[in-house]
Amino acid sequence: MTNLLQNENLEGLMSNINYRNLNQRRDRCTWVNISSLQSQLNAQIGIKDLREQILDALCDTSFINNHTSECNERCDYLYYWLGSLLLTKLSDDVTFKNIIQIIGAGLNKLENETKCKCDFISDISIDLFKKMNIVFDYSKNFDSIKLALNDHNNTCNNIHHNYVNTAVGTYKEVNSLCVSDTSKRYCPQFKKYFNGKDYSVLSTLACKTVKERGETDNSISISGTEDYVIEDSGNPSEYSSSKIAMSILFPPFAILLFFFLLYKFTSLGPMIFRALPKNNTIKRYLNYIRREEEMEYQYDPEDINIDTSRVNVTYHPSSTIF
């Protein structure tokens, strides 16, 4: 529908733009000594084919000036980008924690005077990392999502509905964890992500799902239309009643029509008529047709007077008289 958010809008969210930026290769490691970090990554089983991609992103980050908002933002995105990349190859918490720690320490040791330094949280489970990734993205995308929903009458499709519900639900869960225990290492980060934002607004963001054109669940898509979906009434009695009426009325009508056509246009009509019982309904119907035809073909151009009596001469095309 025209007021429905399009799927590709998710790709335009701020978090996804920054992750795509990290995916781009820049070959910045030519000017940075990465031999030590490279050796450590080579020793990690299972991520060898990710090594060059990781090193390239780290080298590019090292050229950002330290103690700047750009550096802080890059460190946040880099952390979740690296973790998500590692999770395409890893599944156990211990290995995940170790490699995150190696990468964070290696980045801060790169020989670049203006290098951006990052403080990665390595003591974190995979499950909690995923939740923190969701709430971080939510903090970056909230304003854009809110604006988009306002522009589209607060409607969304199933993809956006699930995205918003997951983000809001995870935000509320992590917020509850940090309220009950502020000593957790990730809680200061969580507070930083949503600094100055209203919990009541963040925890209640929602949208109404609207069925998209092309979905077939109890709907009929009309060819040539783009903005309308006709829903099935869901009342089978209307259809059943009309169907029963047609099944009763149509057969007799079809039979009468068949005999009428035979009588009218073929030589079989008179033969069939003779074979029918006198009181047969079809015969009475054909007699009626016969009388109507006599009236149609009646010839009366003038009156013939014989001894003051009027005689009407009637002409009928059939040579058979019943």
Please indicate, yes or no, if residue 255 is contained in any of the structural domains: yes
Provide CB contacts within 8 A for 149, sequence distance 6+. Answer: 5, 155, 156, 205, 207
Whether the predicted pLDDT of 257 surpasses 80:
no
Check whether residue 244 and residue 208 sit in a common domain. no
Count of domains forming the chain:
3
Please report the DSSP string for 289-301 in residue order: HHHHHHHHT---S
Q: Of the residues 86, 105, 123, which one is the last residue of a structural domain?
A: 123
* Confidence band of 275 (pLDDT split at 50, 70, 90): low
Please indicate, yes or no, if residue 24 is contained in any of the structural domains: no
Q: Residues 200-227: pLDDT tens digits? A: 999 999 999 887 665 544 332 222 333 3
Q: Of the residues 232, 256, 278, which one is the last residue of a structural domain?
A: 232
Check whether residue 212 and residue 298 sit in a common domain. no
Whether the predicted pLDDT of 18 surpasses 80:
yes
| Least confident range of 85-99, 120-134, 293-307 | 293-307
Check whether residue 276 and residue 240 sit in a common domain. yes
Please indicate, yes or no, if residue 206 is contained in any of the structural domains: yes
Provide CB contacts within 8 A for 229, sequence distance 6+. Answer: 1, 211, 213, 215, 219, 220, 221
CA-wise closest residue to 148 among 156, 140, 159: 156
Whether the predicted pLDDT of 235 surpasses 90:
no
Check whether residue 112 and residue 133 sit in a common domain. no
CA 308 to chain centre: 90
> What tokens does 24 get?
């781009």
pLDDT at 282 (0 to 100): 55
Check whether residue 131 and residue 210 sit in a common domain. yes
The mean of the pLDDT values for the chain is 77
Encode 230-267: b = buried (16+ Cβ within 10 Å), e = exposed: eeeeeeeeeeeeeeeeeeeeeeeeeeeeebeebbeeee
pLDDT at 10 (0 to 100): 81
pLDDT at 47 (0 to 100): 94
Bridge partners (DSSP) of residue 219 are 231
Check whether residue 93 and residue 137 sit in a common domain. no
pLDDT at 231 (0 to 100): 36
CA-wise closest residue to 8 among 157, 213, 199: 157
Higher-pLDDT residue of 73 and 238 is: 73
Average pLDDT over residues 122-143: 97
Check whether residue 112 and residue 131 sit in a common domain. no
Q: Residues 264-273: pLDDT tens digits? A: 666 666 665 5
Domain containing 75 equals 32-123
CA distance 259 to 272: 9
CA distance 112 to 150: 46
Please indicate, yes or no, if residue 292 is contained in any of the structural domains: yes
Please indicate, yes or no, if residue 267 is contained in any of the structural domains: yes
* Confidence band of 180 (pLDDT split at 50, 70, 90): confident
pLDDT at 250 (0 to 100): 61
Check whether residue 91 and residue 65 sit in a common domain. yes
CA distance 79 to 110: 17
Check whether residue 136 and residue 110 sit in a common domain. no
Check whether residue 227 and residue 306 sit in a common domain. no
Check whether residue 97 and residue 138 sit in a common domain. no
**31 neighbors 66 (Cβ within 8 angstroms):** no
Please indicate, yes or no, if residue 5 is contained in any of the structural domains: no
Q: Of the residues 106, 123, 140, which one is the last residue of a structural domain?
A: 123
Check whether residue 181 and residue 276 sit in a common domain. no
Please indicate, yes or no, if residue 107 is contained in any of the structural domains: yes
Please indicate, yes or no, if residue 217 is contained in any of the structural domains: yes
Does residue 196 come out as left (phi exceeding 0), alpha (psi in the -120 to 50 range) or beta? left
* Confidence band of 309 (pLDDT split at 50, 70, 90): very low
pTM for the whole structure: 0.65
